[in-house]
Structure 1
Amino acid sequence: MASDTSTSDTAASAPSSDGDVSNVLLVTIDSLRTDAIGPYDDDRHSPVLSELAADGTVFDRSFATGNWTPFSFPSILASEPVFARNGDIGVKDARTLASVLSDAGIATGGFNAANGFLTSHWGYPDGFDEFEPFVTSVGSSRYSRYLAAHPTVEAWIQLATSPFRRFGSKLRGDSDDRPFLDASRMFDVEDAATDFVDDTDDPFFLWVHYMDTHTPYVPAPRYIREVSDGLVGTHRMLHAHTRTSFGLEVGERTLRELRTLYQATVRQVDDSVGRLLETLEAAGIADETAIVVAGDHGEEFQEHGHLAHYPKLYDELIRVPLIVNVPGEDGGRRVSEHVGLDAIPPTVADLLGVDAPAEWRGESLAPTVTDGESPDQDPVVSVTVRGDEVTEQPIPRSLSDGDLLVSVRDDEWTYIENADDGTTELYHRPSDPTQQEDLSADPSDEALAVVERFAPIAAEHVAELRDRQADAAAAEDAGEGGDGEVDEDLEARLEALGYK
């Protein structure tokens, strides 16, 4: 929980002049697994993130609060659980990180690479001086809307025209580092972030969110070659996406291709982050800018029978990278204690000398990074909502869209409970890192003690969410609140991400 010495009813304090940090760059990467980058897996090639980690602090057991972007981001940008304010997946009316920093006189910029759930409809621009979600590019024509909702079709079209495009690129002397299918808006985010840095003289908070590692994985050809044996090309990319798009069986070959494409998108983002760091260097502010890198959730490659990030709470979806690089601090530190992503807002505020509001749930990790203090060790709670059909449901936007699943984690144990049917699961991660052996049916004395410790935490969280759900329903019955309908353009972009 937030410190008792922080305040919520008054404006945050002005930035401290004692520290070396004037600015913070928060990089969030959609669907990023821990084992996809070098700091967590020596076999991965991510030189920029690896260098940031080598000069910073790596949190080995960092956990998201949900398996989807809208379930995770209330913690990342508002330090609160999803549904905990008003039964909604957004951050409307919350004391967001951007609003707290803006009140303290810090310039704020946020640039989201077309994730429709991180938009004004759900309150995410609040507090940002500059905000661009890059979602409005779907277009009004029936053709452009169809392509937005069917990226594999657009990929086929680009494949057919690629010889002409590449021939033209060679004539112009261009490289092939642009994404094959530029749905990720990576360069738009880069350009906007660069302009923000160049145009801002005050201390700033800059947030960028990448979508390259989200399905469909469509990296630039050069990155496919870089992470493979050179034989995986665009035709194999289309082969893999075609099989998954049409629901065909995913065998070892297709799974291997998908993993390769995913790793190529990671390298693509890694290079982009490197260009942002070069922007900071060129502006002469790299030595006063702290960098925070996090995944918002992970990605499944059939560890539990599916692809992407369907409603489950296992480590492939909930364990995520978290790297904090603070200028002037010794690097190479690794933190083994568990932390939740709701620690990001108070950490960023702390680094900038701003008080955290009392209602924020997370504790600052700045003392861990700068002084080696152990982080708060309350278990991390994560949730998802699962409908009758795991792979066919639309993404839940309320607790009434399915069963509520809650997980509770510490350094070693994962407890999962279906709050609607009462079923439970228990996993000991050191001996079962992929969570395949459920110990809840016949628990040892040690396992039973874990259940007795975690079950009340899950129950308390469920009760809080149910209370907010009831409040929201009462307000709706009284004709108050409610988000209203999502506009057609935003729905088309959400459908392009697979969220029908």
Structure 2
Amino acid sequence: MTDPNVLVLVMDTARFGDIRETPTEAIDSVAEEGTDFTNASANAPWSLPSHASMFTGQYSSRHGAHATHKQLDESKATLAELFSENGYETVGVSNNTWISGEFGFARGFETFYKTWQYVQSDTDLGGIARTTEGIDQLRSLAGRLTDGNPVTNLINTVYGKFLRRHSDDGARQTTEWLADWLDEREDSRSFFCFVNYLEPHLEYRPPEEFAERFLPEGVSYEEAMEVPQDAWGYIAGEVEMGERDFEVLRALYRAEIAYLDERIGELREALEESGEWEDTVVVITGDHGENIGDHGLMDHQYCLYETLLHVPMVVSGGAFDGGGEDDRLVQLTDLAPTLLDAAGIEAPEARERFQGVSFHPDSDETREHAIAEYMGPQPSMEALEKRVGTVPDSVREFDRSLRSIRDSEHKLVRGSDGLRELYHLGDDPDEERDLADERPDVASELGAELDDWLDSFERHDASGSVSMSQSTQDRLEDLGYLQ
């Protein structure tokens, strides 16, 4: 029997509620055929630590990739490495600069395709092309074109500036590249394929025909494109936004989801045409959610509310087919052991390091709690101050680390500054009523569970900034990640 292919498809910044409320024919078909995990949780609220947990089966404080150490260290075995060691062809496609070799995520992949480059290269000058103009742009480019291959650098710069579709964050390009790869591959090995689609990440700029399906009555596409999307300006009080603005942004966000769903449908067609669909375990999930005015916030930082942690998770293929809706607590950290089970890979040494719990249908493991960590603010207060000027005291309160733990009913959030909040998610899914004072016994019990968990493993002690190229920093800032 041939080992199954494994495809992990991440919709960057996709929160559960909007996936459920947006017509998504392709995603729904996978859920209907397979298993829809309706209670899936991210372990971190932003891309770098969340993907690191998917890749390693560990939480942030153990794998060490987070705001204060932006690197997945080589000592951490990744899923791609484990699949490669067990005879799989390994292919990765990324639209998010965090998820690249520069931050330790390309290890184990035989092919790792970065959609922001026309010719794949370790030198990325796209940031210069996007962030400078006129003579400054020419001077910056002239000074960097000789890094690596000058011809390749020039091609990638022109591509990033003029040719790459600005209404598409790489979804069409990604799907076309994967379709070509499936059509042309002659490798007889099973494959492990990881894909990060950047939609529906800020900025929300869906194609007009998709946006028009969701925009409020009386709002044109041109007007919607004028609504501010400056998350950090809004949080700092520099940009005023009303409920109508957020209604428009939520419509654009859902339009991004609908657009991505169409691309996912095309990828499924390519898998079917290549004869691989029936032999592939497919995971469609989000790495974290999004605040769109929720809790007075935008983007996906500074909190551990369910708007950032509750993510979609549908799995089809093999033992997952016909599973229907499954409301067990599962986490992104659980993907590593689950997918090894799906592929029949033992990897005992790696499994000893996993903190995730397999949710494979044949597994007898169960998860009682879902835990999330926010190891430090991203952006830092210093980076935010450079962007917006004076940072109000109300925003400086976010200068802390956070951890949360939840069971089937309650959720506790603790901060390094002494914050303690308790919510009953069944009665209060929007987390508007803090019950910490009303139910101190529940808060204490969950706090003790969190302390026991923290004492159960050795935490990663790496800290300090990790160097990155100026072009990478520029591209991250294009995505809203202030450095």
Give the TM-score normalised by structure 1. 0.78
Partner Cα distance (1:69, 1:186) in 2: 17
Deviation at 1:389, TM superposition (A): 5.0
Letter in 1 for 2:50: S
Q: What are structure 2's unaligned runs of at least 5 residues?
A: 119-123, 134-162, 388-397
CA–CA separation in structure 2 for the residues paired with 1:402 and 1:126: 32
Shift of 1:452: 3.0
Instruction: Specify which of 462, 471, 474 is matched with residue 489 of structure 1.
Output: 471
Deviation at 1:80, TM superposition (A): 0.9
Whole-angstrom distance in 1 between the partners of 2:233 and 2:31: 39
1:50 equivalent in alignment to 2:28: yes
Q: Partners of 2:205 and 2:170 in 1: how far apart?
A: 12
Q: Is 2:429 aligned against 1:438?
A: no
1:282 paired to 2:286: no
Worse-matched range after superposition: 58-67 or 344-353: 344-353
Q: Report whether the alignment pairs 1:350 with 2:341.
A: yes
CA distance in 1, matches of 2:466, 2:414: 31
After the TM superposition, which of the residue ranges 326-335 and 270-279 deviates more from structure 2?
A: 326-335
In the other structure, the counterpart of 1:456 is 448
Who is 1:102 aligned against?
84
- Structure 1: distance between partners of 2:256 and 2:8: 19
Structure 1's 430 and 285: CA in aligned 2 closer, same or farther, altered over 3 A? same
8 A contact 1:109–1:128 mirrored in 2: yes
Deviation, structure 1 residue 282 = 0.6
Change (3 A) 1:231 1:203: farther
Map 1:457-476 → 2, pairs under 5 A: 457-460=449-452, 467-469=459-461, 472=462
Residue 306 of structure 2: aligned partner = 315
Structure 2 distance, partners of 1:142, 1:62, is 38
| 2:136 equivalent in structure 1 | none
Q: How many pairs are equivalent?
A: 423
Following TM superposition, by how much is the alpha carbon of 1:188 offset from its aligned partner in structure 2, in angstroms? 2.4
Give the drift of 1:221: 1.1
Q: Report the AA paired with residue 422 of structure 1.
A: G
Partner residue in 1 for 2:100: 119
Task: Note closer, same or farther for the CA distance 1:238–1:344 as it changes in structure 2 (3 Å cut).
Answer: same
Structure 1 pair 246/319, CA: closer, same or farther in 2 (3 Å)?
closer
Query: Where do 5+ consecutive residues of structure 1 fail to align?
Result: 1-16, 148-177, 396-400, 474-481
CA distance in structure 1 between the partners assigned to 2:112 and 2:275 by the alignment: 24
| TM-score, length-scaled by structure 2 | 0.80
1:243–1:394 distance in 2 versus 1, CA, 3 Å: closer
CA contact (8 A) 1:315 1:434 kept: yes
User: Residue deviations 1:385-411, cap 9 Å, x none?
Assistant: 45485993799xxxxx94221000122
Please name the residue that 2:159 is paired with. Answer: none
3-state SS of the aligned residue for 1:310?
A: coil
The percentage of aligned residue pairs carrying the same residue is: 25
The CA RMSD measured in Å over matched residues stands at 2.9
- Separation of aligned partners in 1, 2:346 and 2:23: 38
Contact 1:98-1:108 at 8 Å conserved across structures = yes
C-alpha distance 21-33 of structure 1, shift in aligned 2 (>3 A): farther
Partners of 1:407 and 1:415 within 8 A in 2: yes
Aligned equivalent of 1:398: none
Instruction: State the AA in 2 paired with 1:377.
Output: R
* Mapped partners of 2:62, 2:232: distance in 1: 34
* 2: CA distance, partners of 1:424 / 1:26: 35
Question: Is the counterpart of residue 66 in structure 1 residue 47 in structure 2?
Answer: no
Could you tell me which of 386, 400, 405 is aligned with 2:402?
405
Q: Which residue of 2 aligns with 1:424?
A: 420
User: Residues 404 and 412 of structure 2 are in contact (CA less than 8 Å); yes or no, is this contact kept in structure 1?
Assistant: yes
| Aligned partners of 1:55 and 1:330 also within 8 Å | yes
Deviates more, 1:195-204 or 1:212-221: 195-204
Query: 2:212: which partner in 1?
Result: 225
The offset of 1:76, in angstroms, is 1.1
Q: How does 1:80-159 map to 2 (within 5 A)?
A: 80-86=58-64, 88-93=69-74, 94-113=76-95, 115-136=96-117, 139=125, 142-146=128-132
Deviation at 1:258, TM superposition (A): 0.2
